[in-house]
Amino acid sequence: MGETFNVADIFGEDVFNDSAMQERLPKKVYKDLKRTIEEGKELDLATADVIAHEMKEWAIEKGATHYTHWFQPLTGFTAEKHDSFISAPLESGKVLMSFSGKELIKGEPDASSFPSGGLRATFEARGYTAWDCTSPAFVRHDAAGATLCIPTAFCSYGGEALDQKTPLLRSMEAINEQALRLIRLFGNTTSKKVTPSVGIEQEYFLVDAQKFLERKDLIYAGRTLFGAMPPKGQELDDHYFGTIRQRIAGFMKDVNEELWRVGVSSKTQHNEVAPAQHELAPIYAPANVAVDHNHLVMQTLKRVASRHGMKCLLHEKPFAGVNGSGKHNNWSLITDDGKNLLNPGKTPHENNQFLLILACILKAVDEHAALLRESAADPGNDHRLGADEAPPAIISVFLGDQLEDVIEQFIDKGEATHSIERKKLETGVKTIPEFSKDATDRNRTSPFAFTGNKFEFRMAGSRDSVAGANVVLNTIVAEAFAEACEYLEKDRNRDFELVVHELIKKYATKHKEIIFNGNGYDDEWVKKAEEKGLPNIRSMVEAIPALVSEKSIKMFKDFKVFTKVELESRAEIKYENYAKAINIEARTMIDMASKQFIPAVIKYTKTLADTVIAVKAAGADASVQSEALAEVTGYLAEAKKANDALIELTDKASAMGEGKDRAEFYHSQVVPAMEALRAPVDRLEMIVDKEAWPMPSYGDLLFEV
């Protein structure tokens, strides 16, 4: 049995959270910091000095020797530069441990080598990290010892955002301002702040570390670029929510303990649909904190897996033929006094504020569907979206029977007079107690589904930061709120309830086509969506233009979330990242085919040929052996031809200039060539002696963990 502990005793013990600040900071300093966190008031340097000193003392007590500004550049990962607390040596030979308010508030990492999309030249090196005091600092314990991690934003010398956090914080300010404006019109005078609250479900695979190291595709690309399906996959549905294996349970226990210590409220864990696939989900947090926590989750999953002799795969599609991994972003709006603006109440038809907010969200999603789709664009997600394992690439909104009925009443009559009531669940078993069902079912095929008091955006990729998706959600809804407020504020002499009903009907009627409660996997939905005029964006390359459309540029500029040049730089980075990702995959396939598969199969054909000769020499029938030799040789020739074609196309793509054209070439030419190489190699895996095959199979990876 492992060490036991009380979760309540260890939760947040390595976080400089509110209780730690109250305990350590002078009352005035604590109040000033809280005012900065809650109201955005500027923090003076003298106050920051006091906070920095107490934070340093607290961290040193936790064993910390270094601190780092922990930020999220446009690489998709986090970044950090470590500085020790040691100051200049004293005459006695001793050293002082110091940490100033200036060091807390501002850092200066070299910005020249991070992606900037042309915002920065190589020689323009200065960049700044700025403390995000709304996301608590924490001490991380790992092989490097203990490090004080300070969540920060990252911007260039000119103030342009070079990270994921800065625009997220800007979007949170935008929706706070417009949501407060809206609820004030409904008579709310007490709430002072509205915060997007986010819960992020994280899916992942675990494979044996030794087998991982025997596959170049997993090492370089994070996914298997070759691999035939084993006799059993996920067709029995026996892995989903199944009993967790002991090796995996031990891993999950350690993950939870590490996350709880740094304040991540890891709540649920279970086996997912595919073999070797699992999920972890935390409790909700403010959007920027939730994004920080999700990065911690991904890092912790990888670090703990290595300690347990495993590797954690966060790629969206590590294995063909079984479900890939996503990240569900549960989004709602919460006031500082605890009101959830997406809670419809027991009688939604009477809740005008909720219904207007709902109508605004329908409007926002319909008008910016392509942009919302782009926020989930990733090379790995191209393998998932549109398949029967993830939402379709078509954006639609699931409301459920109750809310769809209320919306239809508004469209037909200009008001709603009733809501579908909850019913008792009838199981037919007397010993099971009765309880009320939810007002509506769930729809796992919907990309944007209302699930009781929140919307679940189900399209995000498993390894991606969801900062981008939340930036889009916050901003498009802020825009819809602003337009609604302008409408409601125009004529204060009219009956307010009547004007609200008019607006709900207007938005519901105009944007009803975005509502879809049916099966998103059905081919008929694709045809129907096309008839409705809903965009069906199938790839990352096709999605990127939405980021720099005139509509997007205007909206982001109006709400001070992105400037035009920041958007253009991000589009450039995305094209470049796509091209680089596919180039790595293609060259890995070429390397594996040229140095492993083709030589191994040639060696195997020699064995077959020798067998044919030996059998014939013995005067026996060698037809089976000859047939096998012919089949293997045929697929070998096909693989060699496909490999040569992929080499030629990849070399051509690499010689092209960076940007949209190269990304499109990789998508339209290189990706099909990769598929053409994979097909004969996967077929060969099915007929070549396992002992002759040069690497672990899908069966080895998925079922031997």
Give the residue carrying structure tokens 């508004």: 410
- Mean of the pLDDT values across residues 157-166? 88
Contact 309, 208 (CB under 8 A): yes
- Collapsing DSSP to helix, strand or coil, 156 comes out as strand
- What distance in Å separates the CA atoms of residue 695 and residue 262, rounded to the nearest whole number? 38
Two tokens, residue 455: 């919307």
Partners of residue 586 on adjacent β-strands? none
Using the predicted structure, report yes or no on whether residue 426 has a pLDDT greater than 80: no
Using the predicted structure, report yes or no on whether residue 440 has a pLDDT greater than 90: no
Two tokens, residue 408: 């239809």
- Interacting residues of 95 by C-beta distance below 8 A, sequence separation 6+: 86, 87, 88, 89
Quote the pLDDT of residue 123.
46
- What distance in Å separates the CA atoms of residue 264 and residue 200, rounded to the nearest whole number? 11
Using the predicted structure, report yes or no on whether residue 165 has a pLDDT greater than 90: yes
- What distance in Å separates the CA atoms of residue 315 and residue 701, rounded to the nearest whole number? 15
Two tokens, residue 320: 């063909």
- What distance in Å separates the CA atoms of residue 464 and residue 381, rounded to the nearest whole number? 10
Which of 149-163, 453-467, 546-560, 622-636 shows the lowest per-residue confidence on average (mean pLDDT)? Answer: 149-163
Quote the pLDDT of residue 441.
65
Q: Which of 610, 629, 606, 628 is nearest to 618 (CA)?
A: 610
Which of 158-167, 501-510, 621-630 shows the lowest per-residue confidence on average (mean pLDDT)? Answer: 158-167
Partners of residue 67 on adjacent β-strands? 83, 148
Residues 178-237 have pLDDT tens digits of 999 999 999 999 999 999 999 999 999 999 999 999 999 999 999 999 999 988 777 676
Give the pLDDT band of residue 599 (cuts 50, 70, 90).
very high
- Mean of the pLDDT values across residues 313-323? 95
- Collapsing DSSP to helix, strand or coil, 100 comes out as coil
- Mean of the pLDDT values across residues 417-430? 69
Give me the sign of the Cα torsion angle 504, 509, 514, 518.
Answer: positive
- Interacting residues of 417 by C-beta distance below 8 A, sequence separation 6+: 349, 409
Q: Which of 164, 150, 47, 48 is nearest to 107 (CA)?
A: 150
Instruction: Name the packing angle between helices 27-39 and 45-61 (round to 10°).
Output: 100
DSSP 443: -
- What distance in Å separates the CA atoms of residue 568 and residue 562, rounded to the nearest whole number? 10
- pTM here is 0.93
Quote the pLDDT of residue 156.
83
Using the predicted structure, report yes or no on whether residue 300 has a pLDDT greater than 50: yes
Our CA dihedral for 652, 658, 662, 667, rounded to 10 degrees, sits at 110
Q: Which of 165, 191, 450 is nearest to 334 (CA)?
A: 191
Average pLDDT of the chain to the nearest whole number:
91
Quote the pLDDT of residue 1.
41
Partners of residue 694 on adjacent β-strands? none
Give the residue carrying structure tokens 């697929």: 635
**Which strand (E) or helix (H) includes residue 612?**
helix 598-617
Two tokens, residue 540: 């990352």
- What distance in Å separates the CA atoms of residue 534 and residue 352, rounded to the nearest whole number? 28
Quote the pLDDT of residue 242.
83
Residue-wise DSSP of 26-66: -HHHHHHHHHHHHH-PPPPHHHHHHHHHHHHHHHHHTTEEE
Give the pLDDT band of residue 124 (cuts 50, 70, 90).
low
